Structure formats: structure tokens, C-alpha cells
Amino acid sequence: MADYKNFTVETDSDGIALVTWDMPDRSMNVFTEEVMDELDKIIDHVASTESIKGAVITSGKETFSGGADLTMLQKMLGIFEAEKAKDEQKAIQLLFDNAGRMTWLFRKLETCGKPWVSAINGTCMGGAFEMSLACHGRVAADSDKVKMALPEVKVGIFPGAGGTQRVPRLADPQSALQMLTSGQNLTPKKAKGMNLIHEIAAPDQLIDAAKAMIKNGLKPVQPWDEKGFKLPGGPVYSAAGANLWPPAIAILRRETYGNYPGAAAILKCAYEGLLVPFDTALKIEQRYFAQILRTTEARMMIRSLFVSLQELNKGARRPEGVPETKFAKVGVLGAGFMGAGIAYVTAKAGIPVVLLDRDVASAEKGKAHSAGLMDGAIKKGRATEAEKEQLLSLITPTADYADLDGCDLVVEAVFEDSEVKKGATQQTEAVIAKDAIFASNTSTIPITGLAKNSKRPANFIGIHFFSPVDKMMLVEIILGKKTEDKALAVAIDYVRAIKKTPIVVNDTRGFYVNRCVLRYMAEAFQMLIEGVPPAMIENAAKMAGMPVGPLALTDETAIDLAQKIMKQTIRDLGEKAVDPEQFKLINTMVDTHGRHGRKNGKGFYDYPEKPAKKHLWPGLKDLYPQQDADSIDVEELKQRFLVTIALEAARVMEEGIVTDPREADVGSILAFGFAPYTGGALSYIDGMGLEKFLKLSKQLQKKYGAQFKAPKLLADMEGKGETFYDRFNPYPKTKKAA
């Protein structure tokens, strides 16, 4: 029998083949062309060997599989684009054929005449779960580590290897559609309740349970291949179907505003596929999959939310030649909301933390924040009391700077005041080792200025977290003028250790993210002044793809903070640096009406006591004469939000504040939810095309003002036919940007 690189096949005395997937050069199993070729041969071997009664497929790693390697899809699209230039019809046929490779491999597995059981021992995502659904039996280990999902919709595509057909033929249609369109994770218990797996077994009995299914006479025929098969929710054309499909379409529209072609294609695939025989249904799915792959949304989302995100998480921006830091101890200065959150995520990563504040009581209060977060996780079944005690044992509250001795890294998160930060820096440097790294979590004060307080500016860096720290996945690492490679490497190692995504930013006021966010808010303030109804402003932003409206976001960050930023900007840069009408609006909100945001229950929204929901403050409409809503172009409102943010991202690139387009794109999505279907702020421009984008920004500038003036960089790029990923190619010269 053939030797396989990625699988081992062992047949026991009962004639059951154990197929173990264990890729030697990967930390997680993924489908590649080589893996599919080998699986194809194994299916043939199992089917043609008389002594083999059936097969169990499992993983030799802690996880089962992450699904398909999406760089395969990028390669497929590259071939399509190259062929399209020669013969478009031939290129489309080639893409269609390539898009169906996994589909028909899994169909071959389920119709090979021998029973297959998937023994799911860990995370099982995407194509791996689709393969499991093609197996005749499915057993999952009873473990918190086991999660099953079809998450492709989150990167702009959909489960295109049979997922949209098998799930609604196994589960009730409502649960099936919810799972497919949301990409939600399923626990073994939830998956069994949906009829997507057959059994749950103790981890050490998983293989035995899978083999037992075959020994007990598991039929090598899927339910949909049996005569008389009936859909779990009844026929599509039935009373039940009439109650399901119209609302499903409406709900998807409400959730996505039509921005995600991949999500819409799921409903089309399922609806059309459930009306026809299974093989025809798979062809329908294959057709839609090939179509969705060609969309701008899929291309940009795959690049940013899969490829670039993975690369940044693996330390793409880490300087070479600096040994990796294994953290023995990390110090956190300031036990307020931010500092307490930083201590929590550090301890959660298994790193001992010294949490320092002006007195022990304040530091203890900061530690209690971690206890509260763990209590919440325990209540939801996501943690145990033992895990809580273990995490809390790693946090040492103190008021004594001497306790910072031995820290590899100290993160300062004290009050946003230069003098307070100066004192914290000097007292820390008096006790930490000379090669230890000092990081400031400032959100507004330039790092180069703060580094002047340090005797070793080469080891001084910014590590800017976003609130709430436990939930926000992005961290900005800010380089001061004198910051050296070791400090950058340690900062990236730390951000990776706490399982967050690092982006590297050069020093400037507001860094990268806040500059973009402030543009988003400023455009909303401008709309209020113009008399655009507040509800229209919030809804237009959501329709554009933003998760939170700009007025709600301002409330969350605090309106009086917006006022402080404006006042500081005027002090530093002069009165022309802030729009006087917007400044007047914010002063009116804070000083006249005492509306500071969510924190005092009064902002652009009112925040009544629960269970009542927040609602826009009725007094907002009295501040300015209101336009007739019917006369306002909603499409233009949407464009204003996206274009103003994209232009600021372009300015940041022009100024050299961000130098890697992957970081600008991923950062804009993870930090403030910039319309994910665009692939990020720069991909929004690249996806639209510079000619069209510059024309749009010019129209908006003429109508609404200088905030829409495009930087010279864009005209230069357009003249040279470049995209951001051409101009600022993040890859070595041997590799063309995708």
C-alpha cells in the first residue's frame, strides 16, 4: 500500500481502517491540493480492499482541522484572472471545476460503498466539518476543546463543499440557516441536538466509539440517498416552508443590509438545492460558489480577514534576529479599568502579573475586575472555579515599585497626564533591569515625547489597547523615534502571547485607529449640524456596514472626552485645527445639557434603567433645523462615512505612520469594525478602483468640504495604475502582493 505524507492508515483485526490525519509541516491540519490527492487515494484503497469493512478518520493533532487552506483559493483566483485575459469562458469553466474539487471528493467518500466515521477530537472547522458531514457516522469528544463550525461566511464566502446541502437535510431548517449564515461555533452537545453528529464520547474512548458504529452495522448510505427521504422541516413548498423562507430572507437583510453576497448565496443554495436531487443540488452550490469567489467582497475579505490576519498574528512585522521572549513576569502600572483589563488578559495567558497602584486597596480593586470577568465566564459555562483561582493566583496587587523587579516588560496604564506618566516611568526604571522594556498605553500623547522621561528611550515603546481590553482583539504598537528593534520584538511577542493581533504604527497624534475613528465621529457631527435626522445618521452608518453608529460610539467613548481632545488639539495646533461648529455642538452637549455619554446615562442617547432600552435623546432634533428625511440621499450618507475613513487611512499611509497595508486594513476592521465586507479601509479604495474612488471623493469634497480632499498619494497611484498592495507591497520582492 502507498505511503502518505499527511495521513497514516492502519487496519485492525476487525477490518476497520484508522485514517489519521497529521500534517508534518503544520501546527494544524488543513486541506491542500496534496491532502485532497492523498485522501482521494485512501478512499479508493478503502473501497477496493475487500478485507476493509469501513474507515474511521481522525486527527493526530490536538485539533481536528481548520478546514481548507484559503491561500488555495487565492491561487485559484490568480489562475482565473490570468486565464480570463486570454479566454473568459474557459477561465470561468476552470474556476467552476476547481471550485468543485472538494465537493466531489466528499461525494465520492459518501458513495464509495463502505461506511466512514469521523472521530472529531478537537476544533473542526469549514471543509473538515463538511467532510465529517459526508461521513456516514460522526462522533465528537466530550471536551471544551471541541468546536464545530462552518465559518466561511465570515471571510466573504460560504460552505461550498456540500455544507449548504447536508446541514439543512440533517437539522431543522431554521437552526440550519442560522448556523450557516452566522458561522456560529457548535459544542458537541449543540451539534448532537441539531442532529449534525450521532454520538459524544469520552476523549480516551473516541476511536473505540467510532469503530463500534461500524461494527454495529453502520449503513454506507446517507439518508438523502435512501428512497423516500424526507426533509427534516418538510418540503420547501409547504405551509412550514412558507413560514420559514420569507422571514429568513428578511432577517438576513436586516442583519447584513445586503452587503455580504456570500451570506445571500447561502439562502439561495439551500432554497434551490432542497427542491432537487442531491447531486443536482451540489452542482447548484458549486455554481454559486464559483460566482461568489469572483466578487470583490470575497477577494478582499479572504485577503484581510484570513491571509493578512494570520500573517500578522504569526508576527509578520517582528524584527528578525531578536530572540523570542518568554515572559517570566509583567508589570502593569495603574489598576483602573484599562490597567485591570491588561492584567486580566496577561494572567489569562499564564503570565504572572504585578498590578501596581497608588495604594494596595486600589490595586486589589483592579484584581477584583479579573475575578468578576471569570465569574461571568463561569456562569456561561466557559470557565471553572479552579481556572478562576489559577488566574487570580498570577496577579499580585501592590503599591510598591520594588515588586516590579524581575519584570521583562512593564505596561504603564496610569491617568492620561504627562506629569503622572513621567513619575511612573522614573520610579519604574529605578527598579527594573536595564534591558527590560517599558511600554505606555497612552491613547493620545505621542510616544516620542513620553520617551524623553526615560533614561533608555531605545527600550521605550507604546502598546495601545482598546476598551474593553478582554474583548477587543487589536493592539497598536507605537514606535518612538528612538525605539529599537528589541523593544518592538518584545512588544509583538507580548501581544501574541495574550492572543491579540498586533499592528505597528509610527508616532503621531492619535496614532492610526483614533485618527480614523475621529473622522467617523466628525462626519456624524457634521450631519447633525446640517439637520440630518439623528436616527438616519445612525441607520445610514449601519447600512454602510459599521457595527455601531457614530453617535452611539461617541457615547461609549464619552462626549466630554471628545471635548477634551478638541480643546487639546486647539491648544497644540491652533483654532483652525478643529471645526468651530462641531466644537460648539460638543460644548452645547457637555456644558449646556450635561450630556457626557453612557457613563452618566445621558449623551446622544438616553440610557434608562433596564429592561428599557437606550434611545436617541429627543432633544437632539431641537438643536438644529431638521431636513425632510425624504429629500436626503441615504446612499450618499453611507458613502460619506466610508470615504472619510478611507481617506484618513490613505493619509496615514502617505505620512508613513502605517507602512504595511495589511495593518491598515486589519486594524480598521478589528479596532472599530470598518465595514468588514470591504476588506478594510485601504481595500475599500482598492476594491472600488482609484479612478472611481477619486471621482467620488471629489464630488463629496465639492458638496461637503475639505475632509474629502484626496491626498496627493492617490492621484500619483492612479497615474501609475497602482493599488495600495502594489505601492506598499508587504511581501518580499520574490512574492507579488495578492
Q: Which domain holds residue 669?
A: 514-727
What pLDDT is attached to residue 36?
96
Residue 584 sits in the same domain as residue 649: yes
Q: Kindly report the CA angle at 78 between 296 and 308, in degrees rounded to 5?
A: 65
Residue 504 sits in the same domain as residue 522: no
Residue 624 sits in the same domain as residue 490: no
The string of pLDDT tens digits covering residues 88-147 is: 889 899 989 999 999 999 999 999 999 999 999 999 999 999 999 999 999 999 998 999
Select which of 29, 65, 118, 514 is catalytic. Answer: 514
Q: In the predicted model, what is the mean pLDDT of residues 458-482? A: 95
- The reply to whether omega before 732 is within 30° of 0 (cis) is no
Select which of 152, 476, 538, 663 is catalytic. Answer: 476
Tell the burial category of 574 from Cβ atoms under 10 Å away from its Cβ (0-12, 13-18, 19+): exposed
322 domain residue, yes or no = no
**CATH number reported for the structural domain that contains residue 605 in this entry:** 1.10.1040.50
309 domain residue, yes or no = no
Select which of 443, 453, 454, 697 is catalytic. Answer: 443
Select which of 464, 506, 538, 596 is catalytic. Answer: 464
316 domain residue, yes or no = no
**CATH number reported for the structural domain that contains residue 26 in this entry:** 3.90.226.10
What pLDDT is attached to residue 735?
52
Packing angle of the helix pair 261-273, 239-256 (nearest 10 deg): 170
What pLDDT is attached to residue 343?
98
The string of pLDDT tens digits covering residues 610-621 is: 888 999 999 999
Residue 563 sits in the same domain as residue 677: yes
The string of pLDDT tens digits covering residues 199-239 is: 999 999 999 999 999 999 999 999 999 999 999 989 999 99
Residue 443 appears among annotated catalytic residues: yes
Residue 221 sits in the same domain as residue 168: yes
Residue 416 appears among annotated catalytic residues: no
Q: How confident is the model at residue 732 (pLDDT cuts 50, 70, 90)?
A: low
Could you tell me the CA-to-CA distances from 475 to 53, 184, 508, 555 in Å, in that order? Answer: 53, 25, 16, 22
Residue 176 sits in the same domain as residue 157: yes
Residue 550 sits in the same domain as residue 639: yes
Residue 224 sits in the same domain as residue 112: yes
Q: In the predicted model, what is the mean pLDDT of residues 451-469? A: 94
- Take residue 465 and report the three cell numbers written for it: 489597547
Q: Is the pLDDT of residue 416 over 80?
A: no
- The reply to whether omega before 173 is within 30° of 0 (cis) is no
**How much of the chain, in percent, has pLDDT values that exceed 90?**
89
**CATH number reported for the structural domain that contains residue 363 in this entry:** 3.40.50.720
CA distance 470 to 344: 7
1 domain residue, yes or no = no
Q: In 3D, which of 282, 409, 283 has the Cα closest to residue 342?
A: 409
Q: In the predicted model, what is the mean pLDDT of residues 629-643? A: 97
CA distance 435 to 448: 19
Q: In the predicted model, what is the mean pLDDT of residues 8-33? A: 96
Q: How confident is the model at residue 446 (pLDDT cuts 50, 70, 90)?
A: confident
| Residues 511 and 464 sit within 8 Å (Cβ to Cβ) | yes
What pLDDT is attached to residue 624?
96
| Residues 108 and 12 sit within 8 Å (Cβ to Cβ) | no
**How much of the chain, in percent, has pLDDT values that exceed 70?**
99
What pLDDT is attached to residue 733?
60
Residue 476 appears among annotated catalytic residues: yes
Residue 209 sits in the same domain as residue 226: yes
Q: Answer with the one of 266, 294, 322 that is the final residue of a domain.
A: 294
61 domain residue, yes or no = yes
Q: In 3D, which of 61, 57, 23 has the Cα closest to residue 43?
A: 57
Residue 276 sits in the same domain as residue 357: no
Q: How confident is the model at residue 261 (pLDDT cuts 50, 70, 90)?
A: very high
Q: Is the pLDDT of residue 701 over 70?
A: yes
Residue 121 sits in the same domain as residue 241: yes
Residue 76 sits in the same domain as residue 101: yes
Q: How confident is the model at residue 17 (pLDDT cuts 50, 70, 90)?
A: very high
Least confident of 3-7, 76-80, 428-432, 725-729: 76-80
Q: How many domains does the chain have?
A: 3
